[in-house]
Amino acid sequence: MKKLIAVLLTACMLFTTCGKNKKQNENGNVTITFWHSFVASTIPALEDLISQFEKEHPGIKINAQYVPTGDALIQKLITAIQSKTAPDISWIHSDFLADLVDADAIYEMAHFIEGENGLSQEELSDIYPALMQYASLRKKIYSIPMEATNLALIYNKDLFRKAGYDAERPPQTWDELKTYAIKLSEDYNHDGIYDQIGFFVPVYPSSGPLSGWMTWQWIPYLWQAGGYIVNEDQTEVLYNSKAGVQALTLWKEIYDSLNLSSFTVDYDVAFASQRVAMSMDGPWNLPRFNNIMKNIDWAFAPLPEGPEKRATVVGGEYLVIFKQSPHPDESWTFIRWIIRPDVQARWAMKSGYLPVRQSVKSVPEFTQYLEENPNFKVFVDQMEVAQAQRPLDNFGLQITRHIAEAIEAATLGGMDPQEALNRSAEKSNKLLKSVQKE
């Protein structure tokens, strides 16, 4: 017992001492702490990016710290802000930007953009406008996108051929999507449950971690039908309009006719085992799919065109600078550097994410890369029709949840789409009214 305690005490001392000698600021260098949530497979690309930056900026060191994503990142940020131990830069998802702004925790980007080392109007408008919309709140820019993503259709060419479809011509319209979805479904053992699904409609519990993922995939359909989530002055939601009903009806019809409530497998597992013919996904999965699905002939294609127009939704991660940071200008230098076209090209090719600037497409290496990677090109091309939802100034999280509840109610719950959307809209409008009163 005594021995054990002695060993522990020594261990304790050892641990603390070797922790201490790692402190920053050795020779006048500035160290920027940067929180990110890249998964293991993307980290080499990030390390490459950082070493490149440090080579070009000898006075600045980047200390990239991995923080688990989702709720963990939020909890981490909350406690860090409260204890004044926030990093200099963090990546965030746009859904909780409003709370960071309301807490006065982050800089408004105008502070840097208009500064000496700022961005010209030209450069600023070179960033995809949809991304800048997500990066802003109440018409002010609070973050800068580090990379872009969007949503496309993934389909199994072999199953297309088997069903007698042209494998190079995925569905172009909603009607085609519906007929393809039904024709590509198979019930091998005739037990009344489809063993192969034509189109996976991403319905998840609205209360769960995939709720936002579901809404994110539904929103493009709302736009394709010409709809909006909220009106211009944010006094009323519009997702229960005719367009909303159309979009939700499309999902519901496919969901019901394929009896998808009996299909509880993860869609990527199902797709890889040839049980799903069409599904939707983003570019982040490209490297993984290349690895898992070597034996299948598959491809990405743009989302089908809706009754009104083509549209997809953008995502991506956004960088913010904390007011607690002792080195805001050096932090900006890093962000400013990341969005340089050549850096963006290099980062996109290594990480599999999409560049945030339109001019990257004219970087020669990138043009060549696109030709060699047609699936990646689908996403880059789709950026032209990629939209962002009008940023919700208040109750963004709750309203997104309400939409998810409507989707779940109409598909899994079997409710009439109009009624489901109206119920949710009523809740959302009540919240929006409470803001107006204040």
- For residues 353-412, which are near other proteins according to CB under 8 A? 397-398, 401, 408-409, 412
Q: How many helices (H) and strands (E) does the chain have?
A: 19, 12
Which of 288, 299, 313 shows the shortest CA–CA distance to 216? 313
Which of 131, 110, 94, 77 shows the shortest CA–CA distance to 358? 131
Which of 335, 373, 337 shows the shortest CA–CA distance to 354? 373
* Per CB under 8 A, 68 contacts other proteins: yes
Minimum distance between the CB of residue 270 and other proteins, rounded to whole angstroms? 6
* Per CB under 8 A, 291 contacts other proteins: yes
* Separation between Cα atoms, residue 188 and residue 274, nearest integer Å: 13
* Separation between Cα atoms, residue 383 and residue 52, nearest integer Å: 27
Of the candidate spans 209-217, 334-342, 360-368, 371-379, the one that interacts with other proteins by CB under 8 A turns out to be 209-217
SS3 of 154-203: the string is EEEHHHHHHCCCCCCCCCCEHHHHHHHHHHCCECCCCCCCCCEEEECCCC
* Per CB under 8 A, 264 contacts other proteins: yes
Name which of 263 and 366 has its Cβ closer to other proteins: 263
For the chain, helix, strand, coil in percent to 5 are 50, 15, 35
* Per CB under 8 A, 193 contacts other proteins: yes
Name which of 83 and 120 has its Cβ closer to other proteins: 83
Name which of 100 and 247 has its Cβ closer to other proteins: 100
* Per CB under 8 A, 40 contacts other proteins: yes
Residue of 261, 290, 362, 368 interacting with other proteins (CB under 8 A): 261
Residue of 47, 48, 54, 99 interacting with other proteins (CB under 8 A): 99
Minimum distance between the CB of residue 66 and other proteins, rounded to whole angstroms? 6
Minimum distance between the CB of residue 369 and other proteins, rounded to whole angstroms? 22
Residue of 52, 74, 307, 423 interacting with other proteins (CB under 8 A): 74
Of the candidate spans 151-159, 162-170, 198-206, 344-352, the one that interacts with other proteins by CB under 8 A turns out to be 198-206
What does each C-alpha distance from 117 to 42, 89, 202, 329 come to in angstroms?
Answer: 29, 17, 44, 9
Name which of 72 and 110 has its Cβ closer to other proteins: 72
> How many residues belong to the site for other proteins (CB under 8 A)?
78
